[in-house]
Amino acid sequence: MVSVKNTKGSFNHGNMSDLFGDGIFAVDGDKWKQQRKIASYDFTTRALRDFSGDVFKRNAAKLAGVVSSHAASNQSMDFQGFLMRATMDSIFTIAFGQDLNTLDGSGEGRRFAAAFDDASEFTMLRYLNPFWKLSRLLNVGAEAMLKERIKVVDGFVYKLIRDRSDELSNTKAHDTDSRQDILTRFIQATTSDSGTVDYKYLRDIILNIVIAGKDTTAGSLAWFLYMMCKHPEVQEKICHEAMEATNAGEAASIDEFSQSLTDEALNKMHYLHAALTETLRLYPAVPLDNKQCFSDDVLPNGFNVSKGDIVFYIPYAMGRMESLWGKDAESFRPERWLDENGVFQQESPFKFTAFQAGPRICLGKDFAYRQMKIFAAVLLRFFVLKLRDEKEIISYRTMITLSVDQGLHLTAMAR
């Protein structure tokens, strides 16, 4: 089974390489092992945990401020769009050590973020278009647009990498210890003995981390808020749990409340964790995934697969199967994840596949939950959310990750 589950293969690398390059989501072998080893260490360090937590709290409070201004004027807003910007700001700061400010800014940061989103969508379309290589050769259609978007992305990212590399080479080692961003760590880990820096490899590594930390989290939070609007009683339970866990008090400001979301407080929020997990069961961030077989093998059900075969699995469908989740598989019920004492209970990652399983299980799972819980707790503590139009039919946008087509338009009322 290892041959099927651990490999992306040439099929995926070919489809994804223009955007993902030789990053962790598109490669196998030594490059994958090296990146996973460094990333697995980084994601478990207390320094990165504290640094990322501060970034999440700051951007959650900033987002709540934006929502507050819309709530005061009784305006609806596209929450998915704002979540995309807020999570982009967060992961960009953590990855590059620099604020992008797409949430309240404009200009180059916004252009980068827009190009990044488009490139993700055009990359996904390659899986649906068997003639994409011809379109790339002729430089027409989506392939021409993908090429232009990647130029914008690369120009922005390469400048940041060169500037940071120059800064590190001209700075004494002890002066860089205060830097907690992932780019600095990877530059230090991958620079050759001769001092040579592989800018292309660093670009691929960091962009993969940005993709993983932005689109998946923003999309999942958007579906979570959609579920909150469909189940207002869950909103109230989460608000009450957040107040109780933080002990921040009713008079606490948005900034004060966000700062009270310590790891200890977040760990007490079992119902919020269950509601987020239930959302991911029904709306997994990556709804369709595949692996390529590196050798002949036999699946658990006895089905034979051959070397080179592509094996797809569908987390979106798996999350709705009665054989796995019972008769109420299509119902949103956070309580299914809690024991009789209200404590969250894990399921096997081979059953709940939102974060994959085995050697390629998501390294940033805890990282993602922390960001989602902070954003969700802040928003639901200060606002009651409702769909702009209760009759509106929500559909999906074709991207690598599962997102709401045309945005998630909600109204917010201050509590």
pLDDT at 55 over 70: yes
Residues at the annotated binding site?
362
Per cent of the chain over pLDDT 90 is 48
pLDDT at 218 over 70: yes
pLDDT value for 4: 38
Of 328 and 32, more confident: 328
Nearest to 273 by CA among 170, 344, 179, 167: 344
Domains detected in the chain:
2-414 (1.10.630.10)
CA torsion 352-380-88-57 (nearest 10°) is -110
Residues at the annotated binding site for heme?
362
Q: Tens of pLDDT along 146-178? A: 999 999 999 999 999 999 888 888 876 555 556
pLDDT value for 27: 65
Nearest to 199 by CA among 210, 209, 186, 180: 186
pLDDT value for 26: 60
| Whole-angstrom distance, CA of residue 121 vs CA of residue 400 | 7
Q: Tens of pLDDT along 262-314? A: 999 999 999 999 999 999 999 999 888 888 788 899 988 899 999 888 888 89
> Which of 41-55, 184-198, 377-391 shows the lowest per-residue confidence on average (mean pLDDT)?
184-198
pLDDT at 35 over 80: no
The Cα diameter of the chain in Å comes to 63
Q: Tens of pLDDT along 318-352? A: 999 999 999 999 999 999 999 999 999 999 999 99
pLDDT at 41 over 80: no
